[in-house]
Chain A
Amino acid sequence: MNLIEKFKKTFFIENPVTGLLLGLCPTLAVTSSAENGIGMGLATTFVLVGSNLVVSILKNVIPNRVRIPAFIVVIATFVTIVDMGLQATFFELHKTLGLFIPLIVVNCIILGRAEAFASKNGVWDSFIDGFANGLGFTFALFILGSIREIFGSGAILGFKFWPEEYRTILVFVLAPGAFLTLGFMLVGMNKISKVLQGDK
């Protein structure tokens, strides 16, 4: 499968969030702004690439019976690295994402890719797969975060275009806004993937 085809597929048709509806907990919780969405997405991408690489390298060594515990140890290692790395570099972002960084461990996208792809495929393919899925996740979180930030705070990436004294649609920043926005996003993405599949 060529790369462009692969990326197109993981971005739209099998996008972890809008196509497979995986990893919705961090998706809904941290996307109150576009910046948080990107931060969370990139942190997850790093973990996904790292765990996919290691799992595909070790796939013949890891005994089948204990593959899940072994995968989780690998994933948890990368998550802890991200956690400490973010604290050392982007302290403010780490404060906002907070609890959701350690929770990447139980994000089913990552275990899902390790189990369904990396444990059956070569190193290079697994790397690409992790990267594509991570970017697809980041992309979905960024769109969701942007929509919520634009309507909820009248800003995009922290840049305010709406005067302070005007009211914004607060519900978009709150939890219900996440569900509503995600719902409409799913409608849009389904339409896009229908069109893309129709092309073939």
Chain B
Amino acid sequence: MAKEESALKVIIVLVLIAFFSAFLLAYVNKVTSGPIEANKKAETKKAIGIVLGDLKDYTFPENPEETEIDNSPVKYFLAKSSDSSIVGYAIVVKGPNGFSSDFDMMVGLDVNGKIIDTYVLDHKETPGLGDGMKNEGFKKQFRGRTLDNTKWSVKKDGGDIDALTAATITSRAFTHGVYRALLLYKKLKEESNV
């Protein structure tokens, strides 16, 4: 081991190791990419099922439409009934400036722009404080609200939303996320009327 190896041997060995590991990874990627994709789809489907609540017999496209609200990317699924009229919207928005980072959430609206339910997709909020935004007690106050019948900020800031105890920042982000979804609904409505 103490002997100095030739540069050529060093290069060959490293290249061979890298080559084999790339080959192995390509194979693993090929095997796992299908299930991973399926898991992500199942996750989206589950979320849509939750945020659209009692709506039944609707279909939604495989891939969401994308647009921008409030300088933030937004994706949405249009849920349509069998006669292809819109029955609801499942909107994926970013809750901006959460306690740790932005988080992804989904908001379900019915055809009149009333909130059916909300679902947090991916977040890094504090367990026990901020992740209370997933709890029934916090979520239920959003149901049935629309863009116009509510002041969309937490009570501390003069709005109508009860913030979570010790998690005002998360609550603000969540509220703003919901607000963005409602803005998107308004935009879509205006576009379809023109």
Contact = CB atoms under 8 A, between A and B. Distances in A.
Contacts of B5: 63-65
A170 B131 CA distance: 13
A174 B128 CA distance: 8
Given A32-B127, A65-B10, A66-B14, A73 B36 contact: no
Given A77-B24, A170-B128, A70 B17 contact: yes
Interface residues of B, number: 30
A168 B129 CA distance: 11
A153 B128 contact: yes
Interface stretch (A40-48, A83-91, A123-131): A83-91
Contacts of B188: none
B141 interface: no
B21 A73 contact: yes
Contacts of B194: none
A173 B127 contact: yes
Interface residues of A, number: 30
B13 A174 contact: no
Nearest to A61: B13
Interface in B84-137: 122, 124, 126-129
Contact of A84 (B10, B14, B32, B127): B32
Contacts of A88: 31-32, 34-36, 39
Given A81-B28, A88-B39, A91-B43, A63 B13 contact: yes
Interface string B28-71: 11011111100110010000000000000000000000000000
A134 B25 CA distance: 23
A65 B9 CA distance: 11
A170 B129 contact: yes
Which secondary structure characterizes the binding site on chain A? helix
A74 interface: yes
A77 B20 CA distance: 10
A74 B13 contact: no
Interface string A38-79: 000000000000000000001001111110011001101100
B133 to A, nearest CB: 16
Interface in B139-179: none
A173 B128 contact: yes
* Pairs of residues from A and B, 3 with the lowest C-beta to C-beta distance, nearest first: A88-B35, A77-B21, A88-B32
Interface of A: 32, 58, 61-66, 69-70, 73-74, 76-77, 80-81, 84-85, 87-89, 91, 95, 98, 152-153, 168, 170, 173-174
